[in-house]
Structure 1
Amino acid sequence: MSDPRVYFVNDTTTSSNWGCRGTTRALRSLVESTGATIGDTAYLDDLHHSDRLLTRVPGVTDWMARVAGDVTDARRRTLGALRLTTGGDRREAWKRYESLTSRWDAVPLTVDEYDGAAERVVDGELFAAQRDAIEACDAVVINGEGSVYDRRRKGRVLLFLAYVAAEHLDTPTALVNHTADVSDPVVREAVATVYPLLDDVVFREPRSAEACEAFLPGAVGDHLGADAAFRRRPIEDRDAWASVAEREEYYGVWPDSAAGFDPREPYVCVGGSSIFDRPDRPQYDPEPAYASLCRRLERRVAPVVLTASCPTDARLFRPIADELGLPLIGPRTPVTQAIDVLGNADAYVGGRWHPGIYAATGGTPVVTLTANTYKTAGLVDHLELDAPTFDALALHRHVSEIASLVEEYVDRGEPLRRRLRERADELAELATRNVEALPGEADDRL
């Protein structure tokens, strides 16, 4: 097949998240570097809402979208009521919520529902635009990112579309660039059903590859790649960057302020964690612990720069920035500028997958916190750092340990930074594994 047309599924460049925007652009570039053409695109926004996937039914479709949406007032009220029925068990309440809302959703919850829903797709009753795009292209490349865990809708829709494309529309399909946490039995059954049907499955870190070994042929390493974001790089000439970045409020992207950020001086970046987005985890207010951590780092290591890669982190960090007078690099900052900040820092602390990658590409040592899956621990594995991943939901207990590890990394200086840059280069090459299913050869230049 020469110059195949690819249907690129789950484009997250419209997300208010540095990681989503950066990795999608890198993966699209990888696809195109093989000589393939991206003939059509399914954006996350379009996949995320029922009303964009169903044949429109006035009134009913709108109601379904409100109930099935990922973050809505209706969801919060419903979860609150369900927690009363579970004695306050947040995980059980979330599972009941997902089972309830899936009844009115275009995306099937269990494998038993796949064939019936797939027939409706083929007939044009559901996912009509997605069906037409699959049929108009030669291959489907699904950008999995961190979607496949628990019963989250964004993961279920990707698995179901992969199933439809491969099993019912007979189109070569690859699910790549992703983490998969299959501890939930519903997700595990879906993965066990879908993965063997696909032409390729590529994980972005080793823990997912090991967790899914039973569902795929060959050894774990056969399906291990790296996140396309490893192909991004900060500016190499720090003096040249600093001469631009030091201008007043250069990084003060409204409504946040980077006043006081001196890029010529040592600094440590601190980021949030995706675990705080999970409604099925114990309630925890991390703000006091983060404030304590920032104070400790400033006393023992270097000034702190708060990095909010998404709106959730910005809401958490704005009060801390105001209280402590810290610069805050906000989510509206262009990704390339954010990578420069992270890649030139003396260290990065956080439970965000992609900011950790962006930091490592410049040689910045990474101290990880737990995230919404085991992905940050997987990042430590990938970077070959012999270090723990600290519990973000008990951050107050680990402030001293984190500060000590940051101090140790900074003291190790250029030898550690050089090793991390070299490892990031290796992982950038490994990221080409994401497009091996396409007939062309990916450009391995960084």
Structure 2
Amino acid sequence: MKILYVGDGRSRENWGAKATSAALLDLLSKNNSVPNTVKSELKTRKFKLHTNIPFTGGLEKLVIDRNKKPIFKTLYSVLKRLGLKNDYITEDVDLSLKNFLHIKDFYPELKKTYVDLVASDAVVLNGEGTFIFTTPPRRDAIFFLVILRLAQSLGKKTYCLNAMISDCPVNGRNQRTVDQMVDIFKKCDGITLRDPYSYQFLKEIAPDLKTRFVPDALFTWISRIEEKNYLPTSQDKILQIYYGKEIKLVSGDFSQPYICISGSSLAAWTKDKAISAYVDLVNKLKNTNIQLFIIPTASGDSFLSEVSRLTNVPLIPESINIFAGAAILANAEVFVSGRFHPSILASLGGTPCVFMGSNSHKTLTLQDMLEYSDPIEYNAIPSATDIEEIFDQVVLILGNVKDRKVKIRNKVRTLAKAAEREISVLVK
């Protein structure tokens, strides 16, 4: 079967998007042809909607520069009254699809997506962490639903795989988005949820949908980690260390025990508070007398650069090779994080995690999948009490880390086999 793979995040620096996109693509390619993909960047890129006026490259520049010069802002307002709209994606999926078809010939990326879709037998959507029912709705969720609706209208098979479904922890549930998603999912040939919480949640809000819980595709990377050593050598200068305002690159010794710390998708919303709390957390973890590494694994973790500077703890940049990054996490003694996929990367080597909150149920459901005996999730921006308890938990883990690693690795192998088996059966 010829597949158009939508949501390909391999070109992003975000570790989760990059690694999971590659892992799911590997599984799909075993029994199918995947000649074309739609990059995940397309789901958030705005394309201006042509309506009553001609639209040229000059107007494109005007739209982009309207906030830089007052005259541009005035001209933009006039053009907007005449019918120029800033984005083809709206909260309405069907209207957004109509807009997509209206403007696709003006934009090469949209035109290619349409042509590739027409030439395919099926569309497979990498659902990842998109379907969080925020208000207003996430733009990427609407984009994904537009592509599925378009594929269904053209008689293509449609699949939404490796998805997470969740209410928004801040605004609750956007029922309109839920209703549109369920309507489109009813016509899909396969829907898989990457975690049991998402599976149960979707069953509750749409009991008639045919869905499966299939462990996240990233678990299948355990074979990569076990078959080859991707750890940076003592000569590789990958660590950033701050000397005042100057940043120097130095090599790291990953042969000795170390602890990794990353951020959280929820902490990224209030970066000033996050910096202060994470500085306190890192300084407390220094009392373990084990080497610490700070690892921003997504753009939302950018505040960790300042944490690294203020604590003088080396930072492993987000831009590092993903296999090297995975190996670093997989060989750590402990990983303190509120990130879902980076925690899976750590688990590939059996690294125990101490979890903080995120923008959904992600870190709690991962503990269930990995059969943690006492799942706990600390605040995304840890309080003073949280920091003390995180430290105590890290010390407890260090006391029997070898046994914990064996148990976690064994569970990951089971999850990996299930993911590979289920995807191979469903999509063919």
Q: TM-score, normalised by structure 2?
A: 0.82
Q: Report % sequence identity.
A: 22
Please give the secondary structure, in 1, of the residue aligned with 2:215: coil
Letter in 2 for 1:163: R
Q: Distance in 1 between matches of 2:64 and 2:201?
A: 33
1:111-133: CA deviation from partner (whole Å, max 9, x where unpaired) = 5xx1x444565677575433322
Q: Distance in 2 between matches of 1:10 and 1:208?
A: 19
Q: CA deviation at 1:372?
A: 2.0
Say whether residues 1:153 and 2:151 are aligned partners: no
Say whether residues 1:109 and 2:94 are aligned partners: no
Does the CA contact (< 8 Å) of 1:346 and 1:364 recur in 2? yes
Match for residue 198 of structure 1 among 170, 181, 188: 188
Please give the secondary structure, in 1, of the residue aligned with 2:237: coil
Match for residue 129 of structure 1 among 94, 104, 112: 112
Q: CA deviation at 1:215?
A: 2.2
Q: CA deviation at 1:298?
A: 2.0
Say whether residues 1:169 and 2:147 are aligned partners: no
Matches within 5 A, 1:143-292: 143-149=126-132, 150=134, 151-166=137-152, 168-182=153-167, 183-213=173-203, 214-215=205-206, 217=208, 222-233=211-222, 235-236=225-226, 245-247=233-235, 249-251=237-239, 259=250, 261-278=252-269, 285-292=273-280
Determine which structure has the larger strand proportion and give its number: 2
Q: CA deviation at 1:54?
A: 7.1
Q: Distance in 2 between matches of 1:66 and 1:374?
A: 39
1:134-175: CA deviation from partner (whole Å, max 9, x where unpaired) = 211001000111111111101110122112212x11110001
Does the CA contact (< 8 Å) of 2:234 and 2:252 recur in 1? yes
Tell me the equivalent position of 1:334: 321
Q: How many residues align?
A: 392
For structure 2, list consecutive stretches of 5 or more residues without a partner in the other structure.
Answer: 69-84, 168-172
1:204-240: CA deviation from partner (whole Å, max 9, x where unpaired) = 1111111111425478xx51112221122364499x7
CA gap of 1:237–1:174, structure 2 versus 1, over 3 A, is: closer
Does the CA contact (< 8 Å) of 1:172 and 1:198 recur in 2? yes
Q: Distance in 2 between matches of 1:413 and 1:52?
A: 54
Letter in 2 for 1:263: F
- When the two chains are superposed, the root-mean-square deviation of aligned CA atoms in Å is 3.2
Q: Which has the higher contact order (CA 8 A, sep 6+)?
A: 1
Q: Distance in 2 between matches of 1:367 and 1:326?
A: 19
Tell me the equivalent position of 1:444: none
Match for residue 36 of structure 2 among 16, 40, 58: 40
Q: CA deviation at 1:301?
A: 5.9
For structure 1, list consecutive stretches of 5 or more residues without a partner in the other structure.
Answer: 74-102, 440-446
Letter in 2 for 1:157: F
Match for residue 17 of structure 1 among 14, 18, 27: 14
Matches within 5 A, 1:92-107: 104-107=86-89
Say whether residues 1:402 and 2:390 are aligned partners: yes
Q: Distance in 2 between matches of 1:227 and 1:307?
A: 22
Q: CA deviation at 1:9?
A: 0.5
Does the CA contact (< 8 Å) of 1:177 and 1:434 recur in 2? no
1:176-200: CA deviation from partner (whole Å, max 9, x where unpaired) = 1121224222322222222111111
Q: Which range moved further: 170-179 or 405-414?
A: 405-414
Q: TM-score, normalised by structure 1?
A: 0.79
Letter in 2 for 1:154: D
Q: CA deviation at 1:60?
A: 5.7
Say whether residues 1:366 and 2:362 are aligned partners: no
Does the CA contact (< 8 Å) of 1:51 and 1:61 recur in 2? no
Say whether residues 1:416 and 2:416 are aligned partners: no
Match for residue 369 of structure 2 among 382, 396, 421: 382
Please give the secondary structure, in 2, of the residue aligned with 1:232: helix
Tell me the equivalent position of 2:78: none
Q: Distance in 2 between matches of 1:309 and 1:356?
A: 10
Letter in 1 for 2:55: V
1:388-412: CA deviation from partner (whole Å, max 9, x where unpaired) = 1111134444101111112222212
1:30-80: CA deviation from partner (whole Å, max 9, x where unpaired) = 11112x11122111223321228979833666677799xxxx99xxxxxxx
Q: Which range moved further: 323-332 or 54-63?
A: 54-63
